[in-house]
Structure 1
Amino acid sequence: MVPVSGPTTGEVAGAPCWLSLTTRDLDAAEGFYGAVLGWTFRRDDGGDREYAVGRLVEQPVAVIAAVAAELSVRSAWTAFFTVDDVDQAVARIRERGGTVGVGPVGYPPHGRAALATDREGAAFGVWEGRTENRLHLGMSSAPAWLELHTRDAFEAAVFYGEVLRWADGGPAGFEVSYEQDKVVLRRDGEAVARLNSGPVEATSPQPQLRPRWLVRFRVPDPEVAAAAVVAHGGSIVPGGDWGGVGGPEETGGRRAVVARDPEGALFTLEAVEGA
């Protein structure tokens, strides 16, 4: 994960700011996500490994980073959240029962980052510095938003609210609402992320049933995108998000389907609003 130079993100501290995918085959990942999501890519060298910045209509969306094939690193999407001070954020994570796996690590001259898991084992990252993403991930104009699958959404909201300072009343203007068994994070009235209570098991052999942040990519037609997933070596997850009936689901009135890329990284395809 190496965001590149751009505007500062301090005014949206606590917001999801970037997506990162680890993969063993960067060429194959570019081909897959280019076909499924219509992305183009710009290659770069992060010093110790190669990575590509995925773009949609010339706007940066995510980083895809290559890892050595011999390393036992699971291919997965990770969401990063902006913080004003990564050291303080790391301290808050540990104080509240989370685990810091990597960092803080510096990426001169852009910023610093850390990788962590929450109390249930869902992975996420924190980023202090600058990012090229001008799409404010999660807002209605962005190509993606986030959904946390966890045992208790209300408990998770307390954890993330304290770690990311959602309730501090700062300039980010976040609103946290409790809706049945869900918690919805909004900024300026737009949903940025949703936290869902449901059956999860940290050691489940089915990745979709483990606690996790799931990235939901907006596409014009989820069924067409799902066909592209299969055609390019990925697969559709039977049962949708929570092991239900399978196939396209309805989420907030919009069609969606859960998929895996060829290396097993989970993500959701969701119809854009009005599609």
Structure 2
Amino acid sequence: MTRDVVGAPCWLSLMARDLPAAQDFYGAVLGWSFRPASLGRGFAVAELNGVPVAGIGAVASDFAVPVAWTTYFAVDDADSAVARIRAVGGTVGIGPVTFPPGGRAALATDLEGASFGVWEGRVLSDWRVGEGHAPAWVELHTKNAFDAALFYGRVLEWADDDAGGCEVSYEQDQVVLRHDGQAVARLNSGPVENSSPRPQLRPRWRVHFMVADLDAAQAAVLAHGGRVVADDLPSGATEHLTVRDPDGGLFTLDQRPGPLPPPGRGTQHV
């Protein structure tokens, strides 16, 4: 891991119950192929056009947690990051846990209850998330983006020159996180109801995956046991669609803005 990724999103991971079933669903909906990960038989790396996109691990039952997508952020030291989370009022649910061949991870929630992960260890050089042609994108839905930025800024050392932190800018009620000039995440203010049955009103890191044909992807979701959930877009908006996989994992489908990027230069094992 290089210091210039500290504080940036570095991986997306699904905590699933059944790895083959999850591979069938996401392969059909998103066109992913899969390869084994070095973490063990219960883990796989999803790829699109030769580029790693996300990890899937059949660990939800082991950790007694709901099936969910999690955004991980790179840190130099997981123990120090966990200490910072607790110091600023967050909650650490799991970890740090050691994963071969040397990575360490922890799962936590911020002040509003949105879940996220921290990762200490090697990251994939050709993995990326962001606006434009990246295969995935992340954004935080929270009550106050400025307050959330203060929390994550301390935990993840954003705008910390000594840690090689990310760049943070404020645009109206939105916080934009950039790594090497590229927007990699946004923090959005909005109405929040922690116990709301509508997922779009609960604080959360929202994971988006790009698709070439939103209608076809929606049809594949329904044909393979998933379902569409109500979204917070105005009536008639067609840019994205929030869905659940057959086990309840929540994610968002976005219409890709253009053709697929060129194939990746190869992958590394994680």
Offset at residue 173 of structure 1 (A): 6.2
Offset at residue 40 of structure 1 (A): 0.4
Offset at residue 206 of structure 1 (A): 2.7
Distance 2:128 2:154 in 1: 21
Higher relative contact order (CA 8 A, sep 6+): 2
Aligned partner of 2:264 in structure 1 is none
Aligned 1:185-224 pairs, distance under 5 A: 185-224=177-216
Distance 2:237 2:2 in 1: 35
Mapped contact 2:76–2:120 kept (Cα < 8 A)? yes
Q: Does 1:37 align with 2:30?
A: yes
Aligned partner of 1:19 in structure 2 is 12
* Paired AA for residue 37 in structure 1: L
SS at match of 1:199: coil
Offset at residue 265 of structure 1 (A): 1.1
Match of 1:229 among 183, 202, 221: 221
Offset at residue 163 of structure 1 (A): 0.8
Aligned partner of 1:4 in structure 2 is none
Mapped contact 1:258–1:267 kept (Cα < 8 A)? yes
Taking structure 1 as reference, are residues 247 and 88 closer, same or farther at Cα in structure 2, changes over 3 Å only?
farther
Offset at residue 246 of structure 1 (A): 5.6
Mapped contact 1:149–1:198 kept (Cα < 8 A)? yes
Q: Does 1:78 align with 2:62?
A: no
Distance 1:95 1:171 in 2: 18
* Paired AA for residue 43 in structure 2: Y
RMSD between superposed Cα atoms in Å: 2.2
SS at match of 2:225: coil
Give me the identity figure in percent.
Answer: 61
Aligned partner of 1:119 in structure 2 is 111
* Paired AA for residue 257 in structure 1: L
Runs of 5+ unmatched residues, structure 1:
1-7, 250-254
Q: Deviations over 1:187-237 (max 9, x none)?
A: 233211011111122222233321110101111122221221112111112
Mapped contact 1:256–1:268 kept (Cα < 8 A)? yes
SS at match of 1:226: helix
Count of paired positions:
259
Aligned partner of 1:269 in structure 2 is 253
SS at match of 1:109: coil
Mapped contact 2:38–2:100 kept (Cα < 8 A)? no
Scaled by the length of structure 2, the TM-score of the pair is 0.88
Mapped contact 2:206–2:252 kept (Cα < 8 A)? yes
SS at match of 2:192: coil
Mapped contact 1:77–1:265 kept (Cα < 8 A)? yes
Offset at residue 133 of structure 1 (A): 5.4
Taking structure 1 as reference, are residues 168 and 117 closer, same or farther at Cα in structure 2, changes over 3 Å only?
same
Runs of 5+ unmatched residues, structure 2:
260-270
Offset at residue 177 of structure 1 (A): 1.8
Aligned partner of 2:267 in structure 1 is none
Distance 2:222 2:119 in 1: 33
Mapped contact 2:226–2:245 kept (Cα < 8 A)? yes
Aligned partner of 2:81 in structure 1 is 89
* Paired AA for residue 241 in structure 2: V
Deviates more, 1:118-127 or 1:50-59: 50-59
Scaled by the length of structure 1, the TM-score of the pair is 0.86
Q: Does 1:257 align with 2:250?
A: no
